[in-house]
Amino acid sequence: MSVSIIGIQGIPDIQKGDDLAQIIVDRVKRQKETIKDHDILVISQKVVSKAEGQIIQLDAIQPSVFSRQIAKELQRDPRHVEVILNESKKIIRMRSGHLITETRHGFICANSGVDQSNIGKKNSVTLLPKNPDASANLIRKKIHQLTGRNVPVIITDTFGRAWRMGQVNFAIGVSGIKPVHDYRGKRDMYRRVLHVTEIALADELASAGELVMNKSDRIPAAIIRGYRYRFGHGSGKDLLRPEDKDLFR
């Protein structure tokens, strides 16, 4: 098996209301490429959030007393902290200037996914899509309308990892592919039955896409071609470990 990853170049600065699927199809054509059957489309959360208008002006934010207290302790902008807390269900860790939260979606990440990078507007932040699975499904359906190809769509964001340095892409929204490949009950090469192996397939594909998705060069999307998968239904939430099975919370 061979797998290729094709960065979709030249995507313009996305504005609220832009048809992201149409833009992606147009840019793929300009590269003299096509979206083919069995391709997988990986898209950065940032362009999805921009298209959906998930942008907050910090100048319009009135931080609460609680946000001001946390901001003082962390030496952060209290307006930014207010937005982070508004997008969270709970604070997981708060130390050395870092604020780790559980988002409304259930993701555990820094700053509830609230981000100031790659925004043209001053004093603005982007939020995660309200429903990343619905966003992925909408893009997948529109791609099918435009190309006749029914390809899975994975929406990604970059998260840190608690016990390893560096950040990697994770899948936060999924449509058209089962995000977890379950090997339990199958046999390994020595015929032993597997009991616990579940591969976070959507996360691995998200990380593969990140290899060519360059935040500074307008490459917020990629095509993964050649990977053998089964079309299926699933959700980014399938990748979230329930709290009662989490050994570290």
- Read off the pLDDT band of 71 (50, 70, 90): very high
What are 97-135's pLDDT values in tens digits? Answer: 899 999 999 999 999 999 888 777 778 999 999 999 999
pLDDT of residue 182: 67
Portions of the chain given CATH number 3.90.1660.10: 56-125
Q: How far apart are CA 35 and CA 151, in angstroms?
A: 8
pLDDT of residue 186: 63
Q: How far apart are CA 196 and CA 57, in angstroms?
A: 45
Q: Which CATH number describes the domain made up of 56-125?
A: 3.90.1660.10
* Whole-number percent of the chain with pLDDT over 90: 75
Return the minimum-mean-pLDDT range out of 100-104, 154-158, 220-224, 240-244.
240-244
- Read off the pLDDT band of 184 (50, 70, 90): low
pLDDT of residue 185: 54
CATH topology of domain 4-54+129-239: 60s Ribosomal Protein L30; Chain: A; (3.30.1330)
DSSP letters, 93-112, are EEETTEEEEEETTS-EEEGG
Using CB atoms within 10 A of its CB, is residue 213 exposed (0-12), middle (13-18) or buried (19+)?
buried
pLDDT of residue 188: 60
- Read off the pLDDT band of 183 (50, 70, 90): low
pLDDT of residue 196: 60
Q: Which of 13, 16, 51, 35 is nearest to 176 (CA)?
A: 35
Q: Cβ atoms within 10 A of the Cβ of 139, count?
A: 24
pLDDT of residue 210: 94
Using CB atoms within 10 A of its CB, is residue 72 exposed (0-12), middle (13-18) or buried (19+)?
exposed
What are 225-237's pLDDT values in tens digits? Answer: 999 988 888 899 9
Return the minimum-mean-pLDDT range out of 34-48, 77-91, 194-208, 222-236.
194-208
Using CB atoms within 10 A of its CB, is residue 220 exposed (0-12), middle (13-18) or buried (19+)?
buried
Portions of the chain given CATH number 3.30.1330.100: 4-54+129-239
What are 4-15's pLDDT values in tens digits? Answer: 999 999 999 999
pTM: 0.93
What are 137-166's pLDDT values in tens digits? Answer: 999 999 999 999 999 999 999 998 888 999
